[in-house]
Amino acid sequence: MTTDTAPVAGVEVALAHAARMLEARPDLAGAQAIEILKALPGHPAAVLLLGQAERRQGRCTEALLRLDELERAQPRAAAVPYELALTYADLGRSADAIDALRRSLALKAEQPDAWRLLADFLDASDDLAGADEARARFIKSANRDPRLMAAATALVDNRVPEAEALLREHLKVHATDVAALRMLAEVAARLRRYRDAETLLAHCLELSPSFMAARHNYAVVLFRQQKSAEALAEIETLLAADATNPGYHNLKAAILAHLGDYSESIDVYERVLKAYPVQPKVWMSYGHALKTAGRREDSIAAYRRAIAQQPTLGESFWSLANLKTYAFSDEDVSVMRAALLRTDLTVDDRLHFEYALGKALEDRAAYQESFGHYAEGARLRRTLVPYDAANQSAFVARSKRVLTASFFETRRAVGAPAPDPIFILGMPRSGSTLLEQILASHSQVEGTMELPDINALVRSLLDAQADEENSRYPAVLEGFRLERFAELGASYLERTRIQRKTSAPFFIDKMPNNFMHVGFIHLILPNARIIDARRHPMACCFSNFKQHFARGQNFSYSLEDVGRFYRDYVELMAHFDAQLPGRVHRVIYEDLIEDPEREVRRVLDYCGLPFETACLSFHQNERAVRTASSEQVRRPINREGIDQWRSFEPWLSPLAETLGAVLEQYPGVPAFGT
């Protein structure tokens, strides 16, 4: 017995000794593994050790071949695909790394490091939902506190209310448990309660500043609330601790793009993709940044790279369609048709293919089939973003009751006096980007983007109220002391300062949905200009219906809902016209197309700006344009989009019926009840 076991014991000692040397001296560890393999050819642990040593010495190609062969020979060994994932990562093949991690975790679920690494790679590839799930599994497998295991299990199983109840009960007794705080923040984020998640993670970091996983969560939550400057500061802290983490770099690039720093954002994407080139969703994000910066051909190449790496990534096809000026080939159409026959597409991929194919067929004048794909894309999207049109109508009714001429008269000129902002608002797809491009071509005006700050300020007012019924906006404004309006105006100006890159005295905020907040804008910034961009109801509503929005605009996925939303918009703007005569300047899109110089002069007069011919040659402006119309406004004014909807008229009767008098009297406005 002693004779039989002695060699085995010697091998185990040698392997243990080599493993201890692996980090500090991978060359010596590898040499030891080779000696073991001379004595015992094919010994699995020695082969794995040699592959690990080769990777640590930068010999990743050799390691990959060795580990790939070992995985085929040892298909039940979870450690092998895990090491393969690390090797793929070092080779920049993140998609392969993700697949290897999933194989490893399928063999052995209790691997905290593997779940954490998977979450990081999914973050880097813009799969936020997958990253959230992997992070929850990491929390569960890493946490051995039995008091939290039940909550972690509930979170992994998506039993979110149960997880929340267990965590809150635990934190009553253990208020400084940072793992529990982070888990509760994860619950809040799952429920889209980002303010709560932010507060919990901030407290978590106060207690444990070196808790980098929580800091990464914190940066993501800040970014999802459009707090880009704050998110960027957190990312810089993370990168100082781990300069090579691709997830951190990818988030930084997205934040920089949101801040308008497109040149730096593009540089970051390029560095990430150079190190980790097999990341289809990052190639797609890179394409978005290039598109916004006006680098059309480069953006197309990036989208094509994403498609080559992941042909089922429907959003890449939609990104090409969303250029509006891109022509799909017959081969592209065949590829999209084939993709829609698959049974393994996610809902998100499928709906993007539907929208992209709808655009390709519209360009081919196959209108009936095109409409069918647009309608199916909208139906699928509606399953993901439920919408109740009654809420918007109720909001309009509340606004009309509260925001009256007498209400405004008793609060005359109470806001911040700065005249800097020019708000362009109205329905999406109404020509607002064209107006922005025209105004941003003026020497005294800077274009920015669809800024979220007015809506964020309104949300902050509601979050501060304890009584839900009395906090219903805009009724909450009735109880404000007059000084509060100036404070809110100053807060808006401070929040948006980071978006201003030039010394121009005026800047544009082009968030369409700010039409809901005209009264609020007037109160906090009485000298700001407000321009309502309006387009023919059928053209505007159908353009919304066939547009897949990355976020928001949930009304647009039903012909009846978009028609009702347009009707509510016209009613609310008519109310402000009556209560604040002359406060809002309206531009009718068709008039702008028909006589650009006349309408441009009217807009500039309203803004108190001298006429400049550059406003008529706006298509030569090379500024970044951050909307779906970015490519369209880089061409001279044309009539091409005015009557496109008529090709689809046979299928638009539900829209026309919903619009009713608003359609019949356009560009006039019907009488609405008080």
At 66-81, the pLDDT tens digits run: 999 999 999 999 999 9
Structure tokens at 530: 């407000």
Higher pLDDT, residue 2 or 453: 453
Is position 235 within any domain? no
Higher pLDDT, residue 604 or 112: 604
Question: Which tens digits make up the pLDDT trace of 539-578?
Answer: 999 999 999 998 889 999 999 999 999 999 999 999 999 9
pLDDT at 187: 87
Is position 290 within any domain? no
pLDDT at 561: 97
pLDDT at 131: 76
Higher pLDDT, residue 227 or 137: 227
Q: Which of 16-25, 470-479, 602-611 has the highest mean pLDDT?
A: 602-611
435: domain CATH number?
3.40.50.300
What is the C-alpha separation between 474 and 319, in angstroms, rounded? 37
**Residues recorded for the chain:** 674
What is the C-alpha separation between 525 and 534, in angstroms, rounded? 23
- pLDDT category at 357 given cuts 50, 70, 90 is very high
Structure tokens at 550: 């990355």
Is position 41 within any domain? no
CB 415 within 8 A of CB 491: no
- Domain carrying residue 480: 418-539+565-664
Question: Which residue from 197, 173, 195 is spatially nearest to 183, judged by alpha carbons?
Answer: 197
User: Looking at the predicted structure, is the pLDDT value of residue 631 above 60?
Assistant: no
Question: Which residue from 667, 532, 529, 535 is spatially nearest to 605, judged by alpha carbons?
Answer: 529
pLDDT at 4: 45
Q: Are residues 466 and 571 in the same domain?
A: yes
What is the C-alpha separation between 668 and 100, in angstroms, rounded? 62
Give residue for tokens 């429920």. Answer: 191
pLDDT at 157: 79
Question: Which residue from 656, 623, 650 is spatially nearest to 440, judged by alpha carbons?
Answer: 623
Peptide bond before 146: cis, by omega within 30 degrees of 0? Answer: no
pLDDT at 627: 46
- pLDDT category at 371 given cuts 50, 70, 90 is very high
Q: Are residues 365 and 441 in the same domain?
A: no
Q: Among the three residues 361, 384, 407, which one is the final residue of a domain in this structure? A: 384
Q: Are residues 422 and 512 in the same domain?
A: yes
CB 131 within 8 A of CB 101: no
How far CA 405 is from CA of 74, 401, 412, 484, in Å, comes to 78, 11, 10, 20
445-449 and 506-509 strand pairing: parallel
Higher pLDDT, residue 361 or 246: 361
User: Looking at the predicted structure, is the pLDDT value of residue 396 above 60?
Assistant: yes
CB 362 within 8 A of CB 550: no
Question: Which tens digits make up the pLDDT trace of 103-136?
Answer: 999 999 888 778 878 887 887 777 777 877 787 7
What is the C-alpha separation between 373 and 317, in angstroms, rounded? 14
What is the C-alpha separation between 340 and 311, in angstroms, rounded? 12
Q: Are residues 451 and 526 in the same domain?
A: yes
Residue 407: half-sphere exposure toward Cβ, Cα within 13 Å: 20
Q: Are residues 380 and 514 in the same domain?
A: no
Q: What is the dihedral of CA 227, 229, 231, 233, to 10 degrees?
A: -160
- pLDDT category at 160 given cuts 50, 70, 90 is confident
Q: Distance between terminal CA atoms of the chain?
A: 99
Is position 193 within any domain? no
Q: Are residues 637 and 501 in the same domain?
A: yes
506-509 and 584-588 strand pairing: unpaired
pLDDT at 354: 98
Q: Are residues 485 and 441 in the same domain?
A: yes
What is the C-alpha separation between 598 and 397, in angstroms, rounded? 35
Structure tokens at 360: 């390709």
What is the C-alpha separation between 6 and 78, in angstroms, rounded? 28
Model confidence, pTM: 0.75
CB 292 within 8 A of CB 630: yes
Q: Among the three residues 341, 358, 384, which one is the final residue of a domain in this structure? A: 384
- Average pLDDT of 20-24? 79
User: Looking at the predicted structure, is the pLDDT value of residue 630 above 80?
Assistant: no
Higher pLDDT, residue 356 or 625: 356
User: Looking at the predicted structure, is the pLDDT value of residue 626 above 80?
Assistant: no
How far CA 657 is from CA of 429, 539, 560, 651, in Å, comes to 20, 14, 8, 12
User: Looking at the predicted structure, is the pLDDT value of residue 328 above 80?
Assistant: yes
pLDDT at 621: 58
How far CA 468 is from CA of 178, 429, 476, 659, in Å, comes to 31, 34, 10, 32
CB 207 within 8 A of CB 175: no
Is position 360 within any domain? yes
| DSSP string computed for 385-439 | S---HHHHHHHHHHHHHHS-HHHHHTTTT-S-----EEEEEESTTSSHHHHHHHH
Q: Are residues 334 and 433 in the same domain?
A: no
Give residue for tokens 């990562």. Answer: 89
Q: Are residues 445 and 364 in the same domain?
A: no
Structure tokens at 163: 């997880």
Q: DSSP 3-state assignment of 584? A: strand
Question: Which tens digits make up the pLDDT trace of 412-429?
Answer: 999 999 999 999 999 999
What is the C-alpha separation between 496 and 455, in angstroms, rounded? 13
What is the C-alpha separation between 606 and 600, in angstroms, rounded? 10
Percent of the chain with pLDDT over 70: 92
pLDDT at 622: 56
Peptide bond before 667: cis, by omega within 30 degrees of 0? Answer: yes
Higher pLDDT, residue 279 or 622: 279
What is the C-alpha separation between 434 and 625, in angstroms, rounded? 10
Structure tokens at 300: 């197309």
Is position 258 within any domain? no
- pLDDT category at 90 given cuts 50, 70, 90 is confident
pLDDT at 261: 86
User: Looking at the predicted structure, is the pLDDT value of residue 466 above 60?
Assistant: no
Q: Are residues 585 and 484 in the same domain?
A: yes
Question: How many domains would you assign to the chain?
Answer: 2
CB 524 within 8 A of CB 460: no
- Average pLDDT of 133-141? 73
pLDDT at 8: 53
Long-range CB contacts for residues 545-551, cutoff 8 Å, separation at least 24? 545/374, 545/378, 545/655, 546/355, 546/358, 546/359, 546/362, 546/374, 546/378, 547/355, 547/428, 547/429, 547/628, 548/318, 548/322, 548/351, 548/352, 548/355, 548/377, 548/381, 549/428
Q: Which of 110-114, 163-167, 496-500, 601-605 has the highest mean pLDDT?
A: 601-605
Is position 641 within any domain? yes
Q: Among the three residues 358, 384, 410, which one is the final residue of a domain in this structure? A: 384
* Lowest mean pLDDT, pick from 213-227, 361-375, 626-640: 626-640
pLDDT at 483: 96
What is the C-alpha separation between 276 and 204, in angstroms, rounded? 31
CB 228 within 8 A of CB 498: yes
**At 101, phi and psi to the nearest 5?**
-60, -40
pLDDT at 372: 98
What is the C-alpha separation between 514 and 299, in angstroms, rounded? 30
User: Looking at the predicted structure, is the pLDDT value of residue 634 above 80?
Assistant: no
Question: Which tens digits make up the pLDDT trace of 257-306?
Answer: 888 888 899 999 999 888 888 888 889 999 999 998 889 999 999 999 99
Strand order of the β-sheet with 529-534 is: 445-449, 506-509, 421-426, 529-534, 584-588
550: Cβ–Cβ under 8 A, 6 or more apart, which residues?
none
CB 396 within 8 A of CB 472: no
pLDDT at 468: 44
Positive or negative: CA dihedral 560, 565, 566, 572: positive
* Lowest mean pLDDT, pick from 215-219, 616-620, 634-638: 634-638
What is the C-alpha separation between 84 and 70, in angstroms, rounded? 10
- pLDDT category at 628 given cuts 50, 70, 90 is very low
| DSSP string computed for 26-59 | HHHHHHHHHHHHHHSTT-HHHHHHHHHHHHHTT-
CB 318 within 8 A of CB 356: yes
**At 552, phi and psi to the nearest 5?**
70, -175
User: Looking at the predicted structure, is the pLDDT value of residue 451 above 70?
Assistant: yes
Kind plus residue range of the DSSP H or E element containing 374: helix 367-384
Q: Are residues 321 and 422 in the same domain?
A: no
CB 250 within 8 A of CB 282: yes
Higher pLDDT, residue 640 or 403: 403
Residue 598 burial by Cβ neighbours in a 10 Å radius (0-12, 13-18, 19+) = exposed
Higher pLDDT, residue 31 or 373: 373
Q: Are residues 426 and 380 in the same domain?
A: no
Is position 342 within any domain? yes
Percent of the chain with pLDDT over 90: 57
